[in-house]
Amino acid sequence: MCPGFRAVSLLGCGRVGGGAGGDADCSCQRTLTEAETRGRPPSSPPAAGPAKRSWWPTYDLFMTDLAIDGYLGGDRLYGDDFSSDEIARWYAEEAEAYTDLVDGSVLDEFEYGQWSQRFGFRHLGASGNLGHVVGFGSGFGHELEPLDARAERFTIIESSSTYQREGCRLRTPVEFVRSEPSGRVSLADASADLIVCFGVLHHIPNVSFVISEFRRVLKDEGYLVLREPIVSMGDWRQPRPGLTKNERGIPLPLLVSMLEQSGFLIERSALLGFPVVPRLASSVRVRDPYNRTVWTLTDQILCRLFARNYSYHSTGFFGRLRPTSVSLVNQARLPCDR
């Protein structure tokens, strides 16, 4: 049995690291198999032929159809095996890409408050000192505000020079640190009690290395609250409106495997991001539906109902009706070689 099978099979059903059936009050009795999370098995690869050139100048100018099938099929994560030079180039292209893509007003708000609280922070307990909290890619720190009264100090690690202390509303002492192109986290071993990372890893090439860095800087039994897209977000060889050049989701089985291999135990999980919900909300002029309880619960129910339809990359209409993100609460439980 693969190391990620048990965690993947219970995604969306509350506690993952508990008993074999999760929480007793779990309302979702259906489980997913490893094969189901990968979607349909890939078709036989075509014979190797001339590489397809794309006008979009990225790393896969000479990528064969066989290679891209492996990435879009969810068997491998594009960028995770890059050389140091390729990683540095990706970082240079992505460091300011999001802030350049959106207008300034978006940077001053957080549109996933219900997701963060309901599927992340509430599982940290209702009270108690959270110690040193690290926000990885947390911008001005708005997503960390629910933790403000419980943290001793914050460290925000950011690639963009846009985010500075002047725009931060946190009352607890906070230090801003620039991220390193290599993915190394510029903190001492076992120096953090909690790491919050919302929608950042899919902008990074070497995801498995960064997750191992999270484990290195976390104290034993510290927590990582993570949320990431788990679909391809389209074919990154072509320009995609509203997305940065290199971002792509992380296949669910690979993300689970990376966490477990780095020494994390997945304690809580939820499938999120049903594509119809934000469109429906927009049609009735509801702004930021994931800051609203009813829309958030509707999204969660639809994701559970369509969980078996999950695949990493889909081109058909029905294939797109599936969860697109996952929220995971992870505890650093297994030994870490520091």
Domain map of the chain by residue range? 5-16+52-332
Lowest mean pLDDT among 21-35, 146-160, 169-183, 313-327: 21-35
- CB-hemisphere CA count at 13 Å for 274? 24
Instruction: Using the structure block, give the residue that is written with the tokens 């989701």.
Output: 249
Q: Dump pLDDT digits (tens) for 17-36.
A: 543 333 333 333 333 444 33
Say if CB 213 and CB 192 are below 8 A apart: no
Q: What does the alpha-carbon distance between residue 201 and residue 197 come to, in Å, rounded to a whole number?
A: 8
**Looking at residue 163, what is its pLDDT?**
75
Q: What does the alpha-carbon distance between residue 301 and residue 274 come to, in Å, rounded to a whole number?
A: 9
Distances (CA, A) of 36 to 9, 22, 71, 292: 9, 19, 17, 30
Q: Dump pLDDT digits (tens) for 114-147.
A: 999 999 999 998 788 999 999 999 988 999 999 9
Kindly report the number of other CB atoms within 10 A of residue 48's CB atom. Answer: 10
On whether the pTM is more than 0.75, the answer is: yes
Q: What does the alpha-carbon distance between residue 24 and residue 87 come to, in Å, rounded to a whole number?
A: 44
Q: What does the alpha-carbon distance between residue 222 and residue 10 come to, in Å, rounded to a whole number?
A: 22
Whether 226 has a pLDDT exceeding 90, the answer reads: yes
Looking at the DSSP assignment, which residues form a beta bridge with residue 153?
132
Sheet harboring 151-158: ordered strands across? Answer: 14-15, 264-272, 325-332, 218-229, 192-198, 131-136, 151-158, 174-178
Say if CB 284 and CB 269 are below 8 A apart: no
Q: What does the alpha-carbon distance between residue 80 and residue 319 come to, in Å, rounded to a whole number?
A: 26
Q: What does the alpha-carbon distance between residue 265 and residue 166 come to, in Å, rounded to a whole number?
A: 36
Whether 12 has a pLDDT exceeding 90, the answer reads: no
**Looking at residue 338, what is its pLDDT?**
57
CATH number of 5-16+52-332: 3.40.50.150
Q: Mark out the alpha helices in 74-136 (DSSP H runs).
A: 84-94, 97-101, 104-107, 113-119
